[in-house]
Structure 1
Amino acid sequence: MTEHVLVVGSGRDLPGRVRATAPGTRTSVICRLDYLSRLRERAEHSRVIAVRHDASDAEWVALAAAAHAVDPFTRIATFGERDQDRCAEIGQALGLRTHTPRTVALVHDKTAMRARLRATGVDPTPSTAVSGLPALRAFVQENGLPCVLKPARGSASVGVAVIRTGSEEELAAAYHRAGGHFDGVSGTEVLVEGFHEGPQFSVEAFSEGGEHQVVALTRKYSDPVHFVELGHVVPAELSPALQDTCRHLVEQLLSALGVESGATHTELVLTAVGPRVIETHLRMGGDEIPTLVLTATGIDLSEYVVRQTVGESVLPDLRKALSVAPVPRRSAAVWFAAPPVSGVLTAVEGADPARLTPDTDEVRLLAEPGAVCAGLESSDSRLALARTHGPNAEEALATARTALAGLVFHIRTGPATEEAV
């Protein structure tokens, strides 16, 4: 049967890879109007349906159903986080298999996710939604410090704040940051939860038919103030026993949330009493993590996502590939340059590709001259990345940091001052 896949969102290069999986495979796209510029190979799609970002779910479903009536879709997929809820609603309405609306709601709404994990015994972390400082004070009094505030539906570390002292000033500032007065999170509900101390990890997994397979464990490094991620290395150097504990926790979490298929990215903290969940996502990890996994293990997560999208059963192949992955595995790392001062970026020196060492796979600028640097407020604040590999995590990370140290950022910090930092 010739496949016709409805892609919800832009999907970067993945729709093209979907079409290439088998002769005759077609794609159509439904996405937000402001995503049109992100679509690649637009003329290769059978159709593109653009919808206002604030259109109702019913409108998204109706437009998809109208196209389905004249040129039926056989599959539906979304490859990013935005509009996964719309994908779930369309899939349910058209009888196309994808994540259920309930699963997407549990994953996207951190308040609901925490409640579900407590109810199923997966993770006991206390949490609640708060709508004002009195409710926040009550949570602190009942559960103690430290605690963390975050937008209940935020991403990219936007709006996250930790409360350590419980002073009125700290409570007010944290609530202000997380509660809808920060770029990208206006009007969102605020979640407060117990804060876990310890090294941070992510678990890259793949599911099929409700079975879950962990592909890689990633060690991650975050800014201690705003928790913006600064670096990652694959594989995480953990004992076999701890690796098994993290795998088991993630498998329990995915089952508790009803995840049936696809790639997932789950963030953990390794506390003194074992791993605890930060959050999970119904997608591959960001920050070059799939590329790090490929470099370190030879496993191309995107390939399995694409093949599953067109109906292939891929879990047996994935498990076979993992069993024959190269040993010893090499480590792969990425590190990001944070803005050293606030101001306007005017120039960057040292980004010549000729400077790359054999262990440096890529150095990429993430900001162009004219960009406003306002501190490390979110993942979008970062200025550059270096992606590297090495015989172990320590050497791969050191190479990445060294590669970034060769960059010089010129930032205008005053009306008449330009300084190299």
Structure 2
Amino acid sequence: MRLYLLALNPTDSVTGGFLPAAARLGLDVTVLTDQPAAHRGHCPDVEILECDVRDFRSVITRVSTHHTPDGIFTNSDHLQIQAALVADYFGLPGKSWQAALRAKDKAQMRRHLSAVGADTVWSRELGPGQDPAVLTGPDVRYPCVVKPREGVASEDVVLVEGPEELVLRCKEIQVRRPGAALVVEEYLTGELCTLETLGDGRTRHVLGGFHTDVSPPPYFIEQGLTFVSAHPESLVGQVLDQLDALGVGFGVCHTEFVVHQGRARIIEVNYRAIGDQCDLLLAELLDIPLFEYILRTHLGEPLPRDPGARTDGAARLAYPCAQRAGTLTAAPAPADLLVDGVQLTYRPLREVGERHALYRTNRDYLGVLRAIGADQETVDRAVAGFLAAQRWEITP
């Protein structure tokens, strides 16, 4: 069977998750990407073809002039609509392109949820190049959050307290992202959580979720996540109702929401697997062929009624972050350790000698530490001990 995988830059999810899973399933894989050299460096044994994957018409042409497809798949935030359209063109299983658009376009997500009565969040959209001064009217609710309409990874997401700051932040983002539309929406207070789901269009499984540690405002950098095998049923029901309203139910989905006074409100819907190595941890922790399940849905195979996921484990991820711009001059090497029964896996995300700006996003991550054990207290202690024993140095 031939699987076409659409990708931009290489990611751990693809190179460490989906491509090995495709090999285990015996699939013939063709990677379509606009960055073929980067992918060949990571997976030299996989067929890689250059393609303007942001244009669904180019993808259709590339597939039509190659091998007959049995599945179209992407784990990229930026390519879900394209993959959905291409799958639909070839009559293959896939996500609804309308649902993929609602998930990707944060302004449309707010409008749609409000229109169907699922949830109403005050928000305004600022078109490309539009003067932010139009947002200084009396109806603006402060504090509020400014974000790119189709952004990812908290890039250029910032909390603002008043009209002058709102105009300033919008103009700053417009300089960095010319042509991008922005969303300004009310700040939703509460504990940040995630819900991880997997569906085949008929059956949907909740795989658990995470509690997320976020940096203090005005920025929103995810600094660590703690696995939760089951959020309270009432909260899960609220989130699933909102996903149903958006039409999200096929394949894997990573949903971020806040909880305040028993109410769950969606922050964003990422219609793909959770990233930053959380998906790698999830597959290992739950002890299920997670990546194979995801690919099988895109080949038209039903999910099992019971995926067989374990629920007796505890896990945490931690991300040492750069606190300033500069060159990384000292950092720990990759490590696989067993400490007090806790499996620790550390992987660097920057090489010593690399120089970077300060991004105030997950691009500031210096490495990722995955920890899996039998109870949360022991896992947390092992994580704290490992991080305290390491040294990361950045020279301005």
Look up the match of 2:154: 157
Look up the match of 1:50: 50
Answering whether residue 13 of structure 2 is matched by residue 21 of structure 1, we say no
- Which of 97, 103, 117 is matched with 1:101 structurally? 97
Q: Aligned partners of 1:281, 1:124: CA distance in 2, in Å?
A: 19
Q: Aligned partners of 1:181, 1:398: CA distance in 2, in Å?
A: 43
Residues 24-64 of structure 1, C-alpha deviations (whole Å, 9 max, x = no match): x42223221x144225545444xx4312466x432222222
- TM-superposed deviation, 1:257: 2.0
SS of the aligned residue for 2:358 comes to: coil
Look up the match of 1:417: none
Matches within 5 A, 1:15-414: 15-22=19-26, 25-32=27-34, 34-39=35-40, 41-45=43-47, 48-52=48-52, 56-67=55-66, 71-130=67-126, 131-138=130-137, 141-164=138-161, 166-168=162-164, 170-177=165-172, 179-182=173-176, 185-225=177-217, 226-235=219-228, 243-272=232-261, 274-318=263-307, 321-322=308-309, 325-326=310-311, 329-348=312-331, 350-351=332-333, 353=335, 357-358=339-340, 359-375=342-358, 377-413=360-396
Q: Aligned partners of 1:95, 1:102: CA distance in 2, in Å?
A: 16
Q: Aligned partners of 2:144, 2:194: CA distance in 1, in Å?
A: 21
> Which one has the largest radius of gyration?
1
After the TM superposition, list the runs of 4 or more consecutive aligned residues in structure 1 that deviate by more than 6 angstroms.
Answer: none
Q: Aligned partners of 1:42, 1:7: CA distance in 2, in Å?
A: 15
Q: Aligned partners of 1:281, 1:105: CA distance in 2, in Å?
A: 11
Closer, same or farther in 2 for the Cα pair 1:402/1:340, shift >3 Å?
farther
Aligned residues: 384
Q: Aligned partners of 1:92, 1:352: CA distance in 2, in Å?
A: 42
SS of the aligned residue for 1:58 comes to: helix
> Residue type matched to 2:180 in 1?
T
Q: Aligned partners of 1:64, 1:103: CA distance in 2, in Å?
A: 23
Q: Aligned partners of 1:50, 1:264: CA distance in 2, in Å?
A: 27
| Alignment root-mean-square deviation, CA | 2.5
- TM-superposed deviation, 1:355: 7.1
1:343·1:372 contact (CA, 8 Å) conserved in 2?
yes
Q: Aligned partners of 2:3, 2:325: CA distance in 1, in Å?
A: 45
> Residue type matched to 1:212 in 2?
R
Look up the match of 1:5: 3
- In terms of mean alpha carbon deviation, does 223-232 or 125-134 score higher? 125-134
- TM-superposed deviation, 1:84: 2.0
Q: Aligned partners of 1:112, 1:221: CA distance in 2, in Å?
A: 27
- TM-superposed deviation, 1:154: 0.6
Q: Percent identity?
A: 22
Residues 292-351 of structure 1, C-alpha deviations (whole Å, 9 max, x = no match): 334543344213113323332114132xx14xx35xx22100111111333222222x54
1:234·1:292 contact (CA, 8 Å) conserved in 2?
no
Closer, same or farther in 2 for the Cα pair 1:121/1:35, shift >3 Å?
farther
1:122·1:249 contact (CA, 8 Å) conserved in 2?
no
> Residue type matched to 2:339 in 1?
T
Closer, same or farther in 2 for the Cα pair 1:222/1:122, shift >3 Å?
same
2:133·2:167 contact (CA, 8 Å) conserved in 1?
no
- TM-superposed deviation, 1:4: 2.0
1:219·1:237 contact (CA, 8 Å) conserved in 2?
no
Q: Aligned partners of 2:44, 2:337: CA distance in 1, in Å?
A: 36
- TM-superposed deviation, 1:94: 1.8
SS of the aligned residue for 1:346 comes to: strand
Closer, same or farther in 2 for the Cα pair 1:352/1:288, shift >3 Å?
closer
TM-score (norm 2): 0.88
Closer, same or farther in 2 for the Cα pair 1:122/1:300, shift >3 Å?
farther
Closer, same or farther in 2 for the Cα pair 1:35/1:147, shift >3 Å?
farther
Q: Aligned partners of 1:237, 1:338: CA distance in 2, in Å?
A: 28
1:308·1:314 contact (CA, 8 Å) conserved in 2?
yes
Q: Aligned partners of 2:76, 2:259: CA distance in 1, in Å?
A: 27
Q: Aligned partners of 1:99, 1:210: CA distance in 2, in Å?
A: 12
- In terms of mean alpha carbon deviation, does 300-309 or 111-120 score higher? 300-309
- TM-superposed deviation, 1:199: 1.1
Bigger RCO of structures 1 and 2 (CA < 8 A, at least 6 apart): 2
SS of the aligned residue for 1:82 comes to: helix
- TM-superposed deviation, 1:268: 0.6
> Structure 1: 5+ residue runs without aligned partners?
414-421
TM-score (norm 1): 0.83
SS of the aligned residue for 2:89 comes to: helix
